Structure 1
Amino acid sequence: MNFTEGLALAALGYWLFMLLDVLRARRWMFKLPRYAGHPTIPAQPKRSADKQAPSLPPLVSIIIAAKEEESTIADTVKHLLDQTYPRIEIIAVNDRSRDSTGRKLDELRRWSENRGDLHIPVRIIHITSLPSGWIGKNHALYQGYAQARGKYLLFTDADVKFAPNTVSDAVHYLQEEQADHLTLAPRMRMRGFWLKAFVQYFFFTLGLYVRPWRSNDDFQHKHGMGIGAFNLITRHAYERIGTHKALAMRPDDDLQLGRLVKRARLRQRLASGADHIEVEWYATLHDAVRGLEKNLFSGFGYRLWKAALGVCGQLGLFFFPWIAWLLLPGWSAWTFALSAALMVVVYLLLIRAMTGGSGIETIALPAAVLLLTYVVVRSVGLTLRQGGIYWRGTFYPLKALRSMKDSDS
């Protein structure tokens, strides 16, 4: 057996395994329900803080980190002010923004205070400097937690749109599942075919690598999941995992938060929130490429050999089957063709489960593979050449990033 024949069998084996794994995992792919009535969290009249009745639902502290988010922060806060859940506080942290983010947040706070029909307090924290040993977003979220009073903490991003019942449905579901942490996958708002094809392929490969549905398996405590758009966690669980201090230098703080929850043997739920939250991750394909090249190397622990293995896997298992069945003779060609067909089936199953999309972007899979491979290679090259990463205007040395990865391994 030559190398090509061996690769053909390896690719077929990989895609058969992934198909069986995804089919088996469908029982763990949940969707946040829409509840009617919410019997466990009844609406209550406004009361003073020192006269709260025991029947009041738990307070939810919504914590937002915002840096240079002047174009989106106002919409996000206004969506949160429209929530139907009866007990919310909003803590927005302006993380050293150089644009008008801070001014807009102050205006929103004054506007909400002058609205007699709004009973949701809005607190603004302005951060002017970043201590050593922290990534800016993680420090901002931690500062928000330090001033939060809620039993539940909701960490979210500054560009998320919320349906009015999102917090209410999420708290109800968390209580119903007796979970410590709930993370929601948002509906991704994407403009244009090629942006959608690339972003969905990125999440497809990430899903196969992380296999996020395992976080809903209560009998394993190694694989967890967190998504930055929506991480709802009990205060007790958050403090038990060490707060964001345990994630201080992690660019992938949301994912790592979910992993720490599982490793602490706490109960976690991942669900699709496509009917509840929406986010525009990147506006253009160029923005997506530039954004991902800053932090994709982190997914490989900043280890060159892991990134090289990932590139070889992308080319050998995801790209080569598309051309091999046209170029090779004999049974190898048909084996690669079957691998490509299985890849399409797995893609459709995952994308429809995660995003609710049609999956028509499968026609662009080979191009998306090559583009993502290019982004990984460029991410590695930029990080090594710079000796670290620039993240939202701040430089983080590679040595410090690697030390945080090593401490978690």
Structure 2
Amino acid sequence: DDPLPPGWVGRPWALHTGYLRSSPETEWILEMDADTAAQPGLVAALLQVAQQEQWDLITLAPQFILKHPGESWIQPALLTTLIYRFGAVGSEAGSPERVMANGQCLWVKKSVLDAVGGHESSRLSFCDDVTLVRTIAAAGYRVGFLDGSQLFQVRMYTSFQETWREWGRSLDLKDASPWGQIWGDCLFLLATQGLPLVLLIALVASQSWRWGSPLVWASLGLNGVLMLLRIAVLAGIQASYGHKAWSFWLSPLADPLAVVRIILSAGSRPRSWRGRDYQQLGTE
């Protein structure tokens, strides 16, 4: 690959280059990742919903293609960390800082990109899609994160290890979020997704309910409800997947690991990405 200009991550630079080379007469720009597969009618559907519902920018959630048991186990658990923090696809965000987006399929008015300087706001971001969309939302434009599972598919990674390493290190969204929000979200995930299964197993294994303590019974009830909610979320996201391996249905067992991955990512910054070295990023 050609060397990057100082102060840019590779993906936002590539997208910014495409934006700079677009025709001045362009009304809409579609950005899609190379690992996606679009269904016929994608562009027509995006244009129609954008015009009918007056969106300035739309990103779509895909249908995920998972082929191996390991990735089918960890990936839904990692996806659930996003749902717990930002709500399901189509949810209204309370503020620009809570907007969710997916840059694998992004449809935006060129005039909106012109107004925010293209991808300049996300030049240093390893979650550049969320950074860009939150910048646009903060500028007062109407942005939407909609269900696109019938419109395109994505095969992101090929194993547990690759999913853990590559996807896991950007899902904390630290480059698009204030410090307090990042760690507040980590504590929320720990309480609602990371610990319930562990606590339930510990309480049942220790036979603590025999003590008759109201606190023990309250803990059993609360964590039991949280696990039922987690199972409901799993049922709700199944349409976002094509063929589902048996390990998909066991993905709630991966929740403690998924939350640990988010916390580890929140406390570090990538030094390399997709074969590029970013040791000096932000120090030029």
| TM-score w.r.t. length of structure 1 | 0.57
Instruction: Tell me which amino acid in the other structure corresponds to 1:389.
Output: R
| Preserved contact between residue 294 and residue 390 of structure 1 (Cα < 8 Å) | no
The residue type paired with residue 203 of structure 2 is: W
Contact 2:96 2:137 in 1 (8 A): yes
Structure 1 match to 2:56 = 180
Other-structure match for 1:200: 76
Residue 289 (structure 1) aligned with residue 173 (structure 2): no
Q: Distance in 1 between matches of 2:226 and 2:139?
A: 35
Unaligned runs of 5+ in 1: 1-95, 97-127, 404-409
The answer on 1:393 being equivalent to 2:275 is yes
Which position in structure 2 is the counterpart of 1:130? 4
The corresponding residue for 2:257 is: 371
1:252 pairs with 2:127:
yes
Cα offset, 1:302, TM superposition: 9.9
Query: By how many angstroms is 1:256 displaced?
Result: 1.4
**Cα distance between partner residues in 1 of 2:49 and 2:39:** 16
Which secondary structure does the structure 1 equivalent of 2:278 belong to?
strand
C-alpha contact 1:294 1:379 (8 A) present in aligned 2: yes
Structure 1 segment 26-45 matched on structure 2, within 5 A: none
SS of alignment partner, residue 60 of structure 2: strand
> 3-state DSSP class of the match of 2:164?
helix
Q: CA deviation at 1:176?
A: 0.7
CA shift digits 1:84-121 (9 cap, x unpaired)? xxxxxxxxxxxx1xxxxxxxxxxxxxxxxxxxxxxxxx
Q: Is the 8 A contact 2:16 2:120 kept in 1?
A: yes
1:400 partner SS? coil
Q: Per-residue deviation at 1:138?
A: 0.6
- SS class of match (1:228): coil
Q: Is the 8 A contact 2:78 2:168 kept in 1?
A: no
Q: Is the 8 A contact 1:133 1:248 kept in 2?
A: yes
Amino acid across the alignment from 2:258: L
Q: 1:178 to 1:305 in 2, by over 3 A?
A: closer
- The aligned residue for residue 19 of structure 2 is 145
Select the structure with the greater relative contact order (CA < 8 A; seq sep ≥ 6): 2
Question: Partners in 1 of 2:172 and 2:144 — Cα distance?
Answer: 27
Aligned to 2:199: 321
Q: Identity rate of aligned residues, in percent?
A: 20
Give the match for residue 31 of structure 1. Answer: none
The number of aligned residues is 270
Q: Deviations over 1:326-366 (max 9, x none)?
A: 13333334333333333344334444545516998464423
Whether the 8 Å contact between 1:181 and 1:267 is mirrored in structure 2 is yes
Q: In the TM superposition, what is the alpha-carbon distance from 1:376 to its structure 2 partner?
A: 4.0
Say whether residues 1:343 and 2:226 are aligned partners: yes
Which is worse superposed, 283-292 or 132-141? 283-292
Q: From the superposition, tell whether residues 357 and 177 of structure 1 become closer, same or farther in structure 2 (CA, over 3 Å).
A: closer
Task: Give me the whole-angstrom Cα distance separating, in 2, the residues matched to 1:308 and 1:254.
Answer: 21
1:261 maps to 136
CA apart distance, 1:140: 0.7
From the superposition, tell whether residues 230 and 163 of structure 1 become closer, same or farther in structure 2 (CA, over 3 Å).
Answer: same
Asked if 1:156 corresponds to 2:35, the answer is no
* Residue 147 of structure 2 corresponds to residue 272 of structure 1: yes
Distance 1:354 1:148, change over 3 A: farther
* Distance (Å, rounded) in 1 between the aligned partners of 2:181 and 2:257: 19
Change in 2 beyond 3 A, CA 1:312/1:173: closer
Structure 1 residues 215 and 253: CA distance shift in structure 2, 3 A: farther
Specify whether residues 131 and 185 from structure 1 end up closer, same or farther in structure 2 by C-alpha distance, changes over 3 A only. same
What residue is the counterpart of 2:214 in the other structure?
A: 331
Give me the TM-score of the superposition, normalised by structure 2.
Answer: 0.80
Quote the Cα distance in structure 2 between the aligned partners of 1:251 and 1:172: 31
Q: Please tell me whether residue 224 in structure 1 is matched to residue 106 in structure 2.
A: no
The whole-number CA distance in structure 1 between the counterparts of 2:186 and 2:97 is 25
Alpha-carbon distance change, 254 to 349 in structure 1, aligned in 2, over 3 angstroms: farther
Distance across 1 between alignment mates of 2:217 and 2:249 = 20
Flag the 1:322–1:240 CA change in 2: closer, same or farther, 3 A: farther
1:371 to partner: Cα distance:
2.0
| CA 1:311–1:233: 2 relative to 1, 3 Å | closer
The AA in structure 2 aligned to 1:323 is I
